[in-house]
Amino acid sequence: MSNILRFTAFIFMLIFFIGTSGAEWTLPIYVTSLSSNDNDIYPPPPPATYICVLGVSINATDGFDKNLDVSAPPPPLADALDVYFPCSHEVVNRLATDIKPDLKGVSWTMELIVPSASVVRMDWNVEAVPEDIPVIMNTGTSQINMKSQDYTTFETGMYSLNVITQIAQTSNGGSSGGGGGGSGGSGEAFENILISETEREFVNKGSVVSYNFNSEGNVVQYLNFTGLKNSGKIAAKVEILNNTSTLVDSAPSDIIYKNLNIWVGNLDWATPENIANPIVNFKVEKSWIIDNKISKSTISLNRYSDGIWNPLETHAIGEDAEYLYFESKVPGFSPFAVTGKKVVGESGGEGIIAGPTETAEKQPVQAPTEKKVIPGFSLFAGVLVLLVVMQILRKND
C-alpha cells in the first residue's frame, strides 16, 4: 500500500513540475556589432558583444525588481553599439536583464542603436525558447518566430524592437492574426501597423516634456506634458494604422482621416499622478479636406475609452501650403482617430462651412407717374387768355 502511495505522490509531483516549468524561463540574446568598413588603412575595431536577457518569473513585477533585473551600462558617449530594455524606474531606466511577471501577453521593448559603418547580429538559442509559448520578435519590418529562427541582423540605425510571448486576442473577440500574425508591444495587430515611431525623453518633476516625431507618414508632430515625478527616461510611441485599431469594438461615426495608437510609458504609467496637461499636435492634409468636402471646424481627435469614441477638444493652430495643424488636450493614451464631417451643401472643401450666398433682393422698379391734370383745363385757360387779350385791345381802341 505504501508503494502505491509513493508512486501516486511521485506522479502528482511530476505533473506539478511539468505544469509549472513554463512559468519561469529566460532567453539570453547575444548582440554583436561587426564593422562593415573594408578600409585597409584604418582597420575596424574588434567586434563588441552585449548580452541582453529577457524572461518570466512568478516573483517578478512589471517594474524594476532588484533581485531579478540587471541594470545596463550608461549610454555610450561616442558612436557605438547600444542596446537595452527601457525601464520607468525613478533611478534605473536601462536594463540588461528584464524579467517580467507570468502574465498573458507579456511583452518587452528592446532599444538598439547600430553605429556607423557597422552591422549588428543578434543570436539566441532556440532551445531556450519555451515549447508551448510562441515568442515573436517584431523588428518593425518583419516578424520573427524565435523558436524557428536563431538570429537576425540590423544595419546602421536606431531600432525599437518588440518581443511578445503570445498572439494577442483583439477586444472584438477575433484573433489579431494567424500563423505569422500577432501583436506588437502595444497589443495592436502587426499587420494593422503602418508606421511605428518611438521617442524617449527624460521626465523630471515640474519639467515640460516634449516628444517630437518626424517619420514620413506620421501625422503626430509632437506630444507635450508636464512631469509630476522624477521618472527617468520614458518612451512615447505613435502607431499609424492601416485601419481601425484591432483594440476597439467599432469605428468612429465621422469620416476618418487617420487611425492611430499613442502610448506613453509602461502600462498605467501615464496617469494624473505622473503627468499633467498632455497635449497632442497633429496635421491634416489640405487635399483630403478638399477632396472630401470636410469642414475645418469639425476636424477633431477622438479617443477610444470605456468602450466608446469620445471627441476631444481640438483647436486649429496654423497651416502651411500642404497641411492644417491642430492641437488636442488628451485625458489619456489609447487608440485614437482623426475625423471630420462634410460641409453642408455641395460646395466647400476649404475647411470652412459654406453658408448660403446672400443676393440683393430685387425691388420692383416704379414707372414714372404722370401728372394728373383736370380734364379741359388747358382749353379753358386758353380761352381765358384770349378774352383778356381782346379786352385789352378794345380799351386801346
| Cβ neighbours for 184, distance < 8 A, ≥ 6 positions apart | 107, 138, 162, 164, 190, 193, 196, 239
Closest CA to 64 of 103, 95, 29, 108: 95
Q: Describe the strand order of the beta sheet including 208-212 as a list of residue ranges.
A: 208-212, 220-227, 275-285, 323-329, 314-319
Instruction: Determine the length of the chain.
Output: 397
> Over its length of 397 residues, how does the chain's per-residue pLDDT go in tens digits?
455 555 444 444 444 444 444 468 999 999 998 887 665 555 556 677 899 999 999 898 888 998 999 999 999 888 889 999 998 888 899 999 999 987 667 889 999 998 888 889 999 999 998 888 888 898 877 788 898 889 999 888 888 888 988 543 333 333 333 333 333 456 788 789 899 888 888 888 899 999 999 999 999 999 999 999 887 778 888 999 999 999 999 999 999 999 999 999 876 788 999 999 999 999 999 999 999 999 999 999 999 999 999 999 999 999 999 999 999 999 999 999 999 999 876 554 554 433 333 333 333 434 444 444 454 555 555 556 566 556 666 655 5
- State the number of CA atoms in the 13 A half-sphere of 358 facing the CB: 1
Paired with 98 in beta bridges are: 54
d(CA 238, CA 199): 9
Q: Which uninterrupted H or E stretch holds 40?
A: none
Instruction: Write the DSSP symbol of residue 122.
Output: E
Instruction: Write the DSSP symbol of residue 297.
Output: G
- For every residue of 141-192, DSSP letters joined together read S-EEETTT--EEEEEEEEEEEEEESSPPBPTTSSBS-STT--B-TTS-BGGG
User: Residue 226's pLDDT is what?
Assistant: 96
What is the chain's Cα-based Rg? 38
Question: pTM above the 0.75 mark?
Answer: no
- For every residue of 337-381, DSSP letters joined together read EEEE-BPSSS---SSS--PPPP-PPPPPPPPPPPPP--TTHHHHH
d(CA 289, CA 299): 9
Q: How far is CA 16 from the centre of its chain?
A: 44
For residue 392, give the 3-state DSSP assignment: helix
C-alpha cell recorded at residue 126: 532556440
- For every residue of 50-69, DSSP letters joined together read EEEEEEEETT--SS--TTT-
